[in-house]
Structures are given as structure tokens and as C-alpha cells.
Amino acid sequence: MDAVGASLSANIHGTSDGEDLGVNGGDPTLGAPQNGQRRNGPLLDHVEGQRFLEEAFQIILEEALRQGVDPKEKVCEWKDPEELRTLLDLQLRDGGESHDQLLQRVRDVVKYSVKTCHPLFFNQLFAGVDYHALAGRFLTETLNTSLYTYEVAPVFVLMEEVVLSQLRSLVGWEEGDGIFCPGGSVSNMYAMNVARYRAFPQVKLQGLWAVPRLAVFTSQEGHYSIYKAASFEGIGLENVFLVNVDERGRMIPEDLDLKIELAKMQGAVPFLVSATSGTTIQGSFDPLDRIADICEKHGLWMHVDAAWGGSVLLSQRHRHLMKGIERVDSVAWNPHKMLLTGLQCSVLLLKDTTNLLKQCHCANAGYLFQQDKFYDVSLDTGDKSVQCGRRVDCLKLWLMWKAVGTQGLEERVDKAFTNTRYLVEEMKKREGFRLVNEPQFVNVCFWFIPPSLRVMEDSEDYRERLAKVAPTIKERMMRKGSMMVGYQPQKGRVNFFRMVVLSPQIRQEEMDFFLDEIESLGRDM
């Protein structure tokens, strides 16, 4: 390395007579191949770099997008891990690779990745693609800034303010606070910390030893992030009280009341109830209004994990599922799910107008949040976050919203419900499908009963065999690459599929294919 170092040093201390030194070309010595290997000047050639980006973009457009959304193409090109390791040649080496080799890398990454934008991808609570949002994401990546101060992110500080305000107005709040977080789990964590701070501000300084044992409440079907938050924030899993649900997976308010009393009897101090709008598996909506009554009675912070279901607020027809939402203290909502903004786009919305979020999280770092700046430093919102650098997650949502309008977003939500109704009606016409429950939302949970099991009575043997159906069909569809859908057991129920019809790109054809394909893959079982 000494020779290279000397050459660098010579550059810097020597002449500065050219465009060649850095911005347009880099040191020619360094840019040249070494050992016939390194073709990309590490000190960056803008012209060559931009050419690579353009060519990579064309590959992305053609192979990840055009082919990715084509129903005739595979959803995934399954490879077992050992084979995929060999195919990808992931190892990093001393020397660099050529332009063409690198473009081939881009192609390979696309080829072996799951096409989550494919119309037959139903595996997660995200799917599809929105091109305006995607353009916003490319722009976000290119502008490469961090959302902590107005001086480095002027457009995005103001944009985040407007987007949060618009989302709050859908909740029913004319004012309030909020922040974009790296995922719904983190939004839930933030809510837990802010709720704790409101109840016991001394925890920030003195830690949990200064207060009695605390208790948190969520339903048996609430998301596991509430557990993770309680553990991470030092509260402990045992202090998460699980409230019973009804037969359709909704929190039973009377049981919440009982559990709160139980916690108190055990010497714990309740401070937070996390209700769910759109549970992960069944898509259930807890009865917010009745839960709010109980929270008010006990003086508890009411949070709603609407990461999945929050988008129903856009629909005049379906927002009744979240009746009472305006009464709560905080809402977590992920537009990257049903609204197709792309990962990640998660907000925490707060009713609070007293700057609780910032008071709870601030550390007043002098190197970022100088108070003697020449503009209104209340726009330096970074101290509301527990991160330091924070990604710009508002632009993709904003640009998409500008493109389709609130009406367009509403139509997407409504279409997902309509699709779900179609799918459910079709399932009812077919012999092998048995619904776990009538869907409240767009999660369709069902068992496929293969021919050999249709004649059997319910028994332990039957349930054991039924439990193996979903994993087997899943393996077959993955190896074939025909589609992707998730499954899981839940409480007493053996493995069942969870089909999610969230993307507005799904047509009747895809739903019919889905049902046919499940039948076909499970025919011999």
C-alpha cells in the first residue's frame, strides 16, 4: 500500500492542474487496472459511475419490474441455500470487478430474489409496486440526507410535517405530533416509551428502579413487537398482560378490565393498553370505543397498533372498523403495507400537543441542535427520535399521494376489500377450502383439506395430517415458483394458510389461479 499512499500524497501535495484529480476522473494512476482486476477507480469516476447507474437502471426496469410484475413469470426462482451460495459468489476480495461483471451481479441478484411486486405474491403484509412511490424512493436514495435538521433536509422536514398532519386528520385529530419510524415495531416501542414518560417522567433520569413494577396490556393476538418492546425497554415479558379475544380474534373489553384489576392486585401499575387494528394473522379489529372507555376509567395511555389495518381510515366505507380511533393517545400505522409505498414507511401519530415526544427522547446534542442558528430551530426535529440519523421515509408516500390523490388511495383500500369478498365467495363454492373465520379485513385464513382428508372425522390423527398440508403445499409452490402465500398454526388451530389480497394490482384471474393452484398442489395428499 505504500506505493499507492505515496502516489496519493504526491497528488495532493503536487499540482492541481486538471479535471483528472478527482471529481471528473480520479487520479489516472489509481483509476487504472491493478493486477488486471480493479477497474473502478476507488476514488470515483463520476462519468463512469453514472454510466453504470444508467445501465443498472435498465436492468432493474426490465428484469425486476417488467418481468417481476408479469403473471407469466415465476414469483421466485427457488434455490437451496448451498446452491445459491455457489451461484452468487458472494465473497468479497481485495480487487474489484469489471463493469460487465458488476452488471451481471445486478442481474443475478434480481434473478434469485423473490418478486414481491408479482401479482401472485401473497406471503407478507406488503406486496405490489407503486411507481410514483418507487420514483420517490430512488430520489430519496440519491439525495442521501438525514432527517434531523432543517439545514440538511429542508424539503423533507416540511414534507414530513404535512404528511403527518394529513395522516392525523384521517385519525380525526386537528393537531398533534408524530414521527416516521424504522418499522411498525419501533413505532410501538416509541409509543410505550412516551406513555411511560407521561406516567413516570422520572424513569428517563433514574431508570425503572425509581417506580413500581409497570404493566402493559395487549390482546392474545396482538403483535409480538409489544413483547419485544417490553423486554427492550426493561419492563419484562412477564409484565405484558394478555387480554382474551373473542372467537374472531378481537380483544374482549371486559377481560381487559379484569386483567387491569388483576395486575393491580399483583402490585403492578398499569400504564399502557395497546389495542390492535388489523391483527397480523386474522386481520381482526379490536373494539376501540369500548377499550377507550376502560382506558379512560383507569387513566391509561391507549395506543393502537394499526400498522396493518390503519389504511382503512382512508375508506369511507370501511373506517367504521376503527370507530373510536380519535379517542386514543397514539397510533402506529405502516403505509408500506396496504398503501404500497414500499419498505419502510411507518408512522407513529400522537394526539399530544405538549411536545411529549421530544421531551421524552431529547438529549440536546450540541453538535446537531445548536440553539444559535439563524432559522427557527423548532424545525430541527431530530431530537424527537431515539435514532440519530433518520431516513427520509415521507417522500415516497407524499409523491404517490400527489399522484393518485386521497380518492385514489381510498379506491385501493376499497378494492382490496372487494377482492377479498370475491375470494371468500369462490372458496365457499369449492369443496376443499374451509375458512378459519369469516374475514373482517383482507386476511383470508383457511385450511385446504386434500381429498384423502375430506372423508375423515375430526381426530388427533386428522389434525396431525392436516397440519402437514400447508407446509407441503408451500414447499411445492416455492420449488415451482408459481406463487407465495404464508401459513402458521394459531392457538389450538393446526397450520392454516393466511392469504392477503392487499395489492390493487390483483385481478380475478390471479385469485382464480390461486385457488386452482392450491387444489392442484394438494390434489395427491
Alpha carbons 404 and 336: distance in angstroms, whole number: 16
Select 39 or 294, whichever has its Cβ closest to its own copies. Answer: 39
Taking alpha carbons only, the member of 337, 326, 25, 392 closest to residue 184 is 337
Cell digits of residue 508: 380475478
Select 54 or 460, whichever has its Cβ closest to its own copies. Answer: 54
Contact 247, 436 (CB under 8 A): no
Burial class, 287, CB count within 10 angstroms (exposed 0-12 / middle 13-18 / buried 19+):
middle
* In the complex, least distance from residue 425 CB atom to its own copies, rounded to whole angstroms: 9
* In the complex, least distance from residue 295 CB atom to its own copies, rounded to whole angstroms: 22
* In the complex, least distance from residue 195 CB atom to its own copies, rounded to whole angstroms: 13
* In the complex, least distance from residue 362 CB atom to its own copies, rounded to whole angstroms: 9
Burial class, 442, CB count within 10 angstroms (exposed 0-12 / middle 13-18 / buried 19+):
buried
Select 259 or 415, whichever has its Cβ closest to its own copies. Answer: 415
Q: Where are the beta strands (DSSP E) in 313-438?
A: 330-333, 346-350, 433-435
How many other C-beta atoms are found inside a 10 Å radius of the C-beta of residue 503?
A: 25
* In the complex, least distance from residue 325 CB atom to its own copies, rounded to whole angstroms: 19
Select 245 or 292, whichever has its Cβ closest to its own copies. Answer: 245
Q: Say whether 486 sits in a helix, a strand or coil.
A: strand
Question: Rounded to 5 degrees, what are φ and ψ at 439?
Answer: -65, 140
* In the complex, least distance from residue 12 CB atom to its own copies, rounded to whole angstroms: 5
Q: Which residue has the cell 476480495?
A: 93
Select 156 or 285, whichever has its Cβ closest to its own copies. Answer: 156
Select 365 or 456, whichever has its Cβ closest to its own copies. Answer: 365
Alpha carbons 353 and 343: distance in angstroms, whole number: 29
Sign of CA dihedral 332, 337, 340, 344: positive
* In the complex, least distance from residue 18 CB atom to its own copies, rounded to whole angstroms: 9
Select 294 or 331, whichever has its Cβ closest to its own copies. Answer: 331
- 395-429 and 154-171 helices cross at what angle (nearest 10)? 40
> Which positions ≥6 away from 467 have C-beta within 8 Å?
489, 494, 495
Element spanning 302, H or E: strand 301-305
* In the complex, least distance from residue 291 CB atom to its own copies, rounded to whole angstroms: 23
Question: Rounded to 5 degrees, what are φ and ψ at 435?
Answer: -70, 140
Select 297 or 375, whichever has its Cβ closest to its own copies. Answer: 375
> What are the beta bridge partners of residue 240?
216
Taking alpha carbons only, the member of 352, 355, 309, 299 closest to residue 332 is 309
* In the complex, least distance from residue 258 CB atom to its own copies, rounded to whole angstroms: 22
Length of the chain (residues): 525
* In the complex, least distance from residue 451 CB atom to its own copies, rounded to whole angstroms: 22
